């Protein structure tokens, strides 16, 4: 058996791992979100296992259906959210002039081959079995244990062991694991204490409003927008909150599958206190009064969050409040690093105050070590991080057989 590293190794983006065995199993086939780059190509695919809806995992699954017709396994929430993001990615590619790697038609083809799984389920195929676990990362996210040719391969990418407002922490109890394929996003960083972070986040929003400003909160449409609304609502806000962009539909889809949520009722209550923005012309009007705006995209790469920053960039009383990991080379990351908002045709010096809070949906550094200890696998393959090599080295020092391969590497499993 061989494991082919197709993408997402020593980087965050275009995640794809191929297990070459009796059946060729593809874990994710994602997109490099900022450049639209593809993972390495595949020659044969018998099945796809999709971990979750984020585009760095789902982004190029439809490309596979140009040539092959494999079943694709994931939860209903992941499929629904993926379709939302994938359709949008076609529009974004057009807008940015990025190469088109698939069309709506390929997405429709993929839909025919979707096999719905759920947490706690075991799927038995002729040559394999697949256990599905709750990864605690975004609604519908999974980790999977693939057993094939007497090898047990656990794919965990992405996951969060910590309970958040929206989701339960990951519940992955796999035993006798031969190979653990593990995300490393926060290999170098511990998350700050969540309660304290939520409090400071709310105080920053409230402070902006007390200053007669507008708090723009760019959020990932999927998961993060709902989480942020729930946090805001828990502090009983006395100011208007708006929800805009794809965050609206993503949050509605999220709420329509309460079985994947920790507290669907709290999300429903939070949404009752929110005004959705459906018309472009409303945006100009609502930024004239102090308020909080939760909107996609989270990294200021398109979506109404970009329009709000363009309206308000010259207003020092207003603020931009980021809440999670900012992928290198995105407009959001550059803004935090340079104070300038550089995007299609614009280069603006931002006078708004810029804040960044860690409301991450990924496991932190010690969570990663604890998880490896708990699973105690024969081998660890590190991916999805900027410090995979360092993390593998640290695991080795703790006597784990850990590696951090590059994209294109092929690992023999015997």
Contacting positions for Zn ion (CB under 5 A): 54, 56, 158
| Rg, C-alpha atoms of the chain | 21
Q: What is the 3-state secondary structure (H, E, C) of 173-187?
A: CCCCCCEEEEECCCC
Task: Compute the least distance from the CB of residue 77 to Zn ion, in Å.
Answer: 13
Phi, psi dihedrals of residue 378, rounded to the nearest 5°: -70, -35
Which is closer to Zn ion, CB of 185 or CB of 319?
Answer: 185
Q: What's the token pair of residue 66? A: 């140009």
Which is closer to Zn ion, CB of 26 or CB of 274?
Answer: 26
Task: Compute the least distance from the CB of residue 360 to Zn ion, in Å.
Answer: 10
Task: Compute the least distance from the CB of residue 137 to Zn ion, in Å.
Answer: 6
Asked if 361 and 165 count as a contact pair (C-beta separation under 8 A), the reply is no
Distance CA 194, CA 188 (A): 18
Task: Compute the least distance from the CB of residue 15 to Zn ion, in Å.
Answer: 6
Which is closer to Zn ion, CB of 56 or CB of 114?
Answer: 56
Alpha helices for 297-379 (secondary structure H): 304-312, 331-338, 365-375
Q: Is 180 exposed, middle or buried (0-12, 13-18, 19+ CB in 10 A)?
A: buried
Which is closer to Zn ion, CB of 56 or CB of 394?
Answer: 56
Cis amide leading into 237 (omega within 30): no
Which is closer to Zn ion, CB of 56 or CB of 88?
Answer: 56
Which is closer to Zn ion, CB of 85 or CB of 209?
Answer: 85
Which is closer to Zn ion, CB of 82 or CB of 305?
Answer: 82
Which residue minimizes CB distance to Zn ion? 54
Task: Compute the least distance from the CB of residue 139 to Zn ion, in Å.
Answer: 11
CA distances from 279 to 124, 245, 276, 304 (A): 48, 10, 9, 11
Asked if 137 and 119 count as a contact pair (C-beta separation under 8 A), the reply is no
Q: What's the token pair of residue 211? A: 């200053």
Task: Compute the least distance from the CB of residue 11 to Zn ion, in Å.
Answer: 11
Which is closer to Zn ion, CB of 54 or CB of 101?
Answer: 54
DSSP label of 171: B
Distance CA 183, CA 196 (A): 26
Task: Compute the least distance from the CB of residue 112 to Zn ion, in Å.
Answer: 25
Asked if 103 and 60 count as a contact pair (C-beta separation under 8 A), the reply is no
Task: Compute the least distance from the CB of residue 74 to Zn ion, in Å.
Answer: 13
Asked if 76 and 55 count as a contact pair (C-beta separation under 8 A), the reply is no
């Amino acid at each position: 058996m061989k494991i082919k590293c197709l993408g997402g190794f020593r980087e965050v983006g275009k995640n794809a791992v191929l297990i070459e065995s009796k059946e060729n199993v593809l874990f994710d086939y994602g997109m490099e979100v900022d450049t639209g780059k593809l993972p390495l190509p595949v020659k044969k695919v018998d099945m796809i296992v999709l971990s979750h809806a984020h585009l760095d995992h789902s982004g190029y699954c439809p490309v596979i259906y140009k040539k092959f017709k494999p079943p694709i396994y994931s939860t209903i929430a992941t499929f629904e959210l993926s379709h939302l993001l994938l359709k949008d990615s076609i529009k974004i590619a057009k807008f940015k002039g990025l190469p088109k790697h698939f069309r709506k038609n390929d997405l429709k083809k993929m839909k025919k081959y979707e096999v719905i799984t759920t947490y706690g389920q075991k799927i038995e195929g002729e040559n394999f079995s697949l256990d599905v676990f709750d990864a605690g990362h975004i609604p519908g996210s999974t980790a999977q244990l693939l057993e094939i040719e007497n090898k047990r391969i656990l794919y965990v990418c992405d996951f969060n062991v910590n309970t958040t407002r929206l989701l339960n922490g990951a519940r992955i109890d796999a035993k006798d694991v031969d190979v653990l394929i593990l995300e490393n996003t926060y290999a170098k960083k511990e998350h700050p204490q969540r309660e304290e972070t939520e409090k400071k986040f709310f105080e920053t929003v409230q402070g902006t409003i007390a200053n007669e400003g507008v708090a723009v909160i760019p959020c990932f449409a999927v998961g993060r927008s709902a989480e942020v609304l729930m946090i805001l609502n828990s502090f009983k806000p006395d100011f208007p909150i708006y929800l805009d962009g794809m965050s609206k539909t993503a949050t509605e889809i999220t709420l329509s599958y309460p079985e994947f949520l920790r507290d669907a009722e709290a999300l429903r209550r939070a949404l009752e206190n929110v005004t959705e923005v459906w018309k472009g012309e409303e945006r100009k009007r609502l930024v004239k009064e102090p308020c909080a705006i939760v909107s996609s995209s989270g990294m200021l790469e398109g979506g109404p969050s970009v329009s709000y920053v363009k309206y308000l960039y010259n207003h020092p009383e207003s603020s931009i409040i980021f809440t999670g990991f900012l992928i290198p080379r995105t407009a959001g990351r550059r803004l935090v690093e340079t104070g300038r908002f550089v995007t299609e045709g614009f280069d603006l010096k931002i006078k708004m105050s810029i804040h960044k809070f860690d409301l991450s949906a990924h496991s932190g550094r010690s969570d990663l070590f604890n998880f490896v200890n708990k699973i105690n696998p024969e081998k660890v393959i590190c991916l999805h991080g900027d410090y995979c090599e360092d993390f593998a080295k640290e695991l080795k020092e703790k006597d784990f057989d850990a590696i951090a391969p590059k994209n294109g590497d092929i690992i023999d499993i015997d």
